[in-house]
Structure 1
Amino acid sequence: MARTSVRIVRVPSVLALSLSTALALTATACGSGKADSGGKTANENGSTPVVVATTTWEGALAKAAGAKDVKVIVPSSVQHAPDYDPKPSDLAAVADADFVLYASFEPYAKKIKDAAGSSAKMVEVDLDNGADKASAEVMRLGKLFGTQRAAAKWDTSFKSEYGTLQKGLRTAWPGGKAPAVVAQVFSVWSARMAGAELRGTYGPQAVTAKQLSDLEKKKPAYVLDNVHMTTGTVLPDSGAKQVEIVNYPGKDLDLMAVYKNAAETIKKAMASSA
């Protein structure tokens, strides 16, 4: 529950420069991070804690885990979160947080917390939309927040809906056979959801000419790209249909929507190839 006190934060110019420097050095990957252990539970009066998330991905995990007061720093319109330049207002939002959620490829998150002088617990979140990992992360956060019951309820619903999406995708296989695909490393989860035959991966680094040649030899029907790190058409002369997969939830922080949107996008691609 948000505190009623107001904290005025002044950011020194040197600190602002350090934030910009940190962003410039941020890794280009948009993938998983190592989970942090420990943290505070819900507030003493039983209400859920105030959570500040660096992006909508962390924010959606927090919401799924049962947090009701979730503030997101990086706008959903920013495709690549590490490119965002934090503003003084972002630091002010952190000042009253109980938890700050961030990923390993967002090193500016700790600087945001330190600049605000917040006593919030920093929690490194594992950003991976693989069903098992997402489920485990929601349950872990629920334990940290003291909202295990809400997290368990979401998880039960998630597993049911995810299973329905899997069945629908298998029904849509062209010719009734699992399609052959290659995927950007952070879109592999969508290939698994679709039950596709994964023949290769690429990224997050730039794809070399040899890698492209090797991928083309695998004769995929589809390339499951990562819209947040796309470099254009990956196999333009192979005949493979490129499908853009979105990893980050929208501003409504609906994590389940990511899976539904990916399933719909893949089904449309398969239908057009039938």
Structure 2
Amino acid sequence: MKFKKAFMILLIICLLTLAVIGCSNNTDEITGADETLKDLEEASIVASTSWTALMAEAAGAKNVTIIAPVELKHPPEYDFKPSDIKKIQEADWVIMAGYEAFMNKIIEANNIDQEKIIRVKTTNTYDNLVEQTKIIAEKINTVNLQQEWVSEFSNTMDVIMEKSKEGNVSDIRVLVHTHLAAYTKSLGYDVVEVYGAEELSPAKIGELAKLQPDLIIDNYHNPQGIAIEELSGAKRVELRNFPGVEQESLVDLMIYNAKLLNIY
């Protein structure tokens, strides 16, 4: 009887031990999943400009702070404040293009960890935006969200490209600012010359005007085609690279520019 009683006690202890271990493992799994979700939602991301910020959001980022104010006409010229340094120091990730002088100064002067900096190429073409947002998503572990965005973005671009074909943009001879050249070519326009970003001399302006373009696609952030417009009589539009207050997503930005070109 004593042996049987001892055996039963030992059996109960073993069962209780297994139950505790099982509960402990399940709790760890649940806690781990919750922490992963929490990390995705709370990871702080600092973006240099509205452009890189919307790229981050397209990649699935939820907690994004922009350094250069959205209202600035030319964000790369932003003069940073001490509070901006703190934001970058405390961020989990920093997203920038590389040409933002204020970002380079902050990073170099404050020994910012290079491992948390994600450098992207800012060109508003379909292929590039899909590629760059994927790079961000792979870093911050939001690939599924980026893929959802790609689906929406693809639908919008399909409409724009179809409208471009209907509008026979391939027959429209265009002078385009260098920072919008890749975008313009991706839409199918006949780009006869690219100008800027250096200051245009009177001789160069005259040379460009003589090309008699049908359209001048200028850069809103640094317009240089006004004199060409006056000499040639061609229509001129100013498109955005950096999203403004009214463009809350990259999709909004693409639609905004397409509407100015009458292809949406």
The interval holding the TM-score normalised by the smaller chain is 0.7 to 0.9
CA contact under 8 A between 1:61 and 1:255: conserved in structure 2? yes
- Where relative contact order (Cα < 8 A, 6+ residues apart) is larger, the structure is 1
| Structure 1 position 116, deviation (Å) | 6.0
| Distance change (3 Å), C-alpha of 1:253 and 1:88 | farther
Distance 1:44 1:109 in 2: 31
- Percent identical pairs in the alignment equals 26
2:209 aligns with 216
Secondary structure of the equivalent of 1:140? Answer: helix
**Which position in structure 2 is the counterpart of 1:267?**
262
CA distance in 2, matches of 1:111, 1:206: 25
Partner SS for 1:95:
helix
- Report the Cα distance in structure 1 between the residues aligned to 2:227 and 2:162, rounded to whole angstroms: 28
Indicate yes or no: 2:84 matched with 1:73: no
Change (3 A) 1:183 1:246: same
* 1:228 match: 221
CA distance in 2, matches of 1:260, 1:83: 26
Residues 177, 105 of structure 1: CA spacing in aligned structure 2 closer, same or farther, 3 A cutoff?
closer
**Counterpart residue identity of residue 211, structure 2:** K
Q: 1:89 aligns with which of 83, 86, 99?
A: 83
Partner of 1:131: 126
Kindly state the Cα deviation for residue 123 of structure 1 after the two structures are TM-superposed. 1.9
| 1:45 match | 36
User: Retained in 2: the 8 A contact 1:59–1:71?
Assistant: yes
Q: Give the residue type in structure 2 aligned to 1:262.
A: N
The 1:107–1:177 alpha-carbon spacing in structure 2 relative to 1, beyond 3 Å, is: closer
The worse-fitting range, judged by mean Cα deviation, of 133-142 and 248-257 is 248-257
| Conserved? CA contact 1:97–1:118, under 8 Å | no
CA contact (8 A) 1:223 1:234 kept: no
Following the alignment from structure 1 to structure 2, what is the Cα–Cα distance between the partners of residues 84 and 107?
A: 8
The CA distance in 2 between the partners of 1:123 and 1:152, in whole Å, is: 19
Aligned partner (choices 38, 51, 55) of residue 57 of structure 1 = 51
Highest Rg: 1 or 2? 2
Q: Which structure 1 segments of 5+ residues have no match?
A: 1-42
Which deviations, in whole Å up to 9, do the C-alpha atoms of 1:61-112 show, x marking residues without a partner? 0000000000001111111123211112212222321111122211331432
Runs of 4+ in 1 over 3 A off after TM superposition: 113-120
Matched to 1:160, the amino acid is N
Provide Cα deviations, 1:212-249, integer angstroms capped at 9, x if missing partner: 23322322110000010113504111111111011111
* CA-CA distance at 1:117 after TM superposition: 6.5
Deviation digits for residues 151-190 of structure 1, max 9, x if unmatched?
11111221221110121233234xx862111100111244
CA deviations 1:34-84 (Å, max 9, x no partner) are xxxxxxxxx962332311001000000000000000000111111112321
Higher helix share: 2
* TM-score normalized with structure 1 length: 0.74
CA contact (8 A) 2:68 2:78 kept: yes
The root-mean-square deviation of aligned C-alpha atoms, in Å, is 2.4
